């Protein structure tokens, strides 16, 4: 069951005005003018401006305090603005009912960062669920708030503050790799300008997405692992490569109507194993299920190769090619243009062996010459060390020889030709 009040239907407007025409003798022209204007206002589509790949939260990533009777304030970087929005809250991996007493949204006081936990109280707005301030979300379900008028600028941190009545222990839906500070404080402080007594944690819990109403919006989804989720980036800095891409799109008039939705999950695998649902199992939900999706960038496979024994890694590489092909085919069936990125080097990391490097090169050779995707983004060529192509350039290496630094993520985003989003 999905809780969603949705937009007021045109049929109800028609019924009310037909009654008014009959009762008050209003000219039909007045009615037609109103309908014309109402229709113009409601022209648009829901477009996801922020979302994350949700998963079952591992024990070591659970909230440090019990959430019952507490307010959890979380910040999300919304890449596309709009005049109306709705919030999705997920209990997909829970085993019991999550009871939310109230939920509010507000703009962060510091629009570019969540680091201080403060909101602009003048923008504080309560969310409703089927007209109610509270909502109970059964195990396996998602709650979608009623649409609310809210002037959301592009490239802005939005605060989502939830006051919980009851949260079952141990099985929490979340996203551990938020790279963003969240705040937990006892009591109902959803509208508080700041949360000085809060416990801080760099995780997201329960929130799954924010959609904006846009006249011409569309979304670019980035499907990946921790390299897309942003390990090695700056906490509260919004400098993952999808963030940098979003800023490039927003400042280009031809692409300013596009959102970037980061569906990276740290430790994720394409085929099997890893953390969270595999890319194969979540493609429909996280890519095709994104509101307004028109493009997908696939950049994943390192964990499959890095986790495979040397004597089986070429079989894994071949199976990656099969999965990549299926992703492109499924995207095209839904009129989504598909692009794929080459796998970046990991020489010097514990993943590295000669056999795994051979498998990575095999996969990259297929990516560069494939005919099923609409284009290739050669991330490897930008970040590899020309003196040792098995390794990252030192300035792009976060230090573990697998994940990139903020400079490396910036270079990845800069290599994407924005014209692929205008053709």
pLDDT digits (tens, 9 = 90+) for 274-325: 999 999 999 999 999 999 999 999 999 999 999 999 999 999 999 999 999 9
Residues 96 and 237 in one domain: no
Residues 177 and 270 in one domain: no
Residues 370 and 234 in one domain: yes
Domain assignment of residue 3, yes or no: no
Residues 12 and 58 in one domain: no
Residues 37 and 75 in one domain: no
Residues 193 and 245 in one domain: no
Domain boundaries, position 198: 48-209
CATH number at residue 262: 3.40.50.1110
Q: Are strands 142-144 and 218-224 parallel, antiparallel or unpaired?
A: unpaired
Burial class for 307, CB neighbours closer than 10 Å (0-12, 13-18, 19+): middle
Contact 242, 318 (CB under 8 A): no
Mark which of 184, 209, 234 sits at the end of a domain.
209
Domain count, the chain: 3
Q: How far is CA 6 from the centre of its chain?
A: 21
Residues 282 and 377 in one domain: yes
Q: Where are the alpha helices (DSSP H) in 136-201?
A: none
Domain assignment of residue 1, yes or no: no
Query: Phi, psi (5° rounding) for residue 148?
Result: -135, 140
Give the whole-angstrom CA distance, residue 241 versus residue 238: 9
Continuous segment of H or E residues that includes residue 172? none
pLDDT digits (tens, 9 = 90+) for 240-274: 999 999 999 999 999 999 999 999 999 999 999 99
- Residue 397 scores a pLDDT above 50: yes
Give the whole-angstrom CA distance, residue 154 versus residue 44: 17
- pTM for this model (two decimals): 0.90
Task: Look at residue 115 in the predicted model and tell me its pLDDT.
Answer: 66
Q: Find, among 164, 178, 177, 36, the residue nearest to 94 by Cα.
A: 164
Residues 296 and 154 in one domain: no
Contact 406, 232 (CB under 8 A): yes
In 5-155, the DSSP E strands lie at 45-51, 55-56, 70-78, 82-90, 98-107, 125-126, 135-137, 142-144, 148-152
Domain assignment of residue 2, yes or no: no
Residues 36 and 59 in one domain: no
pLDDT digits (tens, 9 = 90+) for 19-76: 444 444 444 443 443 333 334 346 789 999 999 999 999 999 999 999 999 999 999 9
Residues 289 and 157 in one domain: no
Mark which of 175, 209, 243 sits at the end of a domain.
209
Domain assignment of residue 357, yes or no: yes
Domain assignment of residue 135, yes or no: yes
């Amino acid at each position: 069951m999905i809780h969603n009040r949705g937009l007021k239907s045109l049929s109800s407007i028609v019924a009310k005005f037909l009654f008014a025409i009959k009762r008050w003798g209003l000219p039909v022209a007045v009615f037609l003018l109103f309908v014309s204007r109402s229709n113009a206002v409601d022209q648009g589509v829901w477009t996801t401006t922020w979302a994350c790949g949700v998963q079952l939260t591992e024990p070591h990533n659970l909230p440090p305090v019990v959430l019952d009777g507490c307010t959890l304030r979380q910040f999300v970087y919304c890449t596309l603005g709009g005049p109306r929005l709705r919030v999705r809250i997920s209990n997909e991996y829970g085993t019991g009912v999550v009871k939310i007493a109230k939920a509010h949204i507000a703009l962060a006081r510091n629009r570019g960062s969540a680091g201080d936990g403060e909101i602009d109280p003048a923008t504080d707005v309560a969310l409703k669920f089927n007209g109610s301030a509270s909502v109970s979300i059964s195990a396996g379900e998602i709650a979608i708030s009623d649409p609310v008028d809210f002037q959301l600028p592009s490239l802005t941190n939005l605060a989502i503050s939830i006051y919980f009545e009851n949260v079952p222990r141990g099985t929490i839906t979340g996203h551990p790799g938020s790279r963003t500070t969240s705040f937990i404080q006892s009591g109902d402080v959803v509208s508080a300008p700041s949360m000085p007594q809060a416990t801080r944690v760099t995780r997201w819990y329960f929130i799954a997405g924010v959609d904006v109403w846009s006249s011409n919006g569309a979304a670019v989804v980035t499907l990946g692992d921790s390299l897309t989720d942003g390990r090695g980036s700056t906490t509260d800095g919004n400098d993952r490569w999808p963030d940098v891409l979003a800023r490039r799109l927003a400042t280009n008039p031809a692409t300013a109507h596009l959102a970037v939705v980061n569906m990276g999950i740290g430790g994720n695998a394409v085929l099997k194993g890893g953390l969270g649902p595999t890319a194969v199992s979540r493609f429909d939900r996280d890519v095709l299920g994104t509101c307004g999706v028109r493009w997908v960038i696939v950049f994943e496979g390192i964990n499959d190769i890095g986790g495979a024994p040397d004597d089986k890694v070429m079989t894994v590489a071949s199976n990656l090619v099969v999965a990549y092909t299926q992703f492109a085919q499924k995207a095209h069936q839904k009129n989504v243009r598909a692009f794929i990125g080459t796998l970046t080097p990991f020489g010097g990391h514990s993943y590295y062996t000669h056999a795994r490097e051979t498998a990575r090169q095999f996969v990259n050779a297929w990516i560069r010459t494939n005919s099923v995707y609409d284009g290739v983004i050669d991330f490897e060529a930008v970040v590899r060390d020309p003196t040792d192509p098995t390794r990252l350039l030192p300035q792009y290496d976060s230090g573990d020889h697998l994940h990139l630094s903020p400079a490396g993520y910036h270079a990845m985003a800069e290599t994407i030709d924005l014209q692929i989003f205008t053709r």
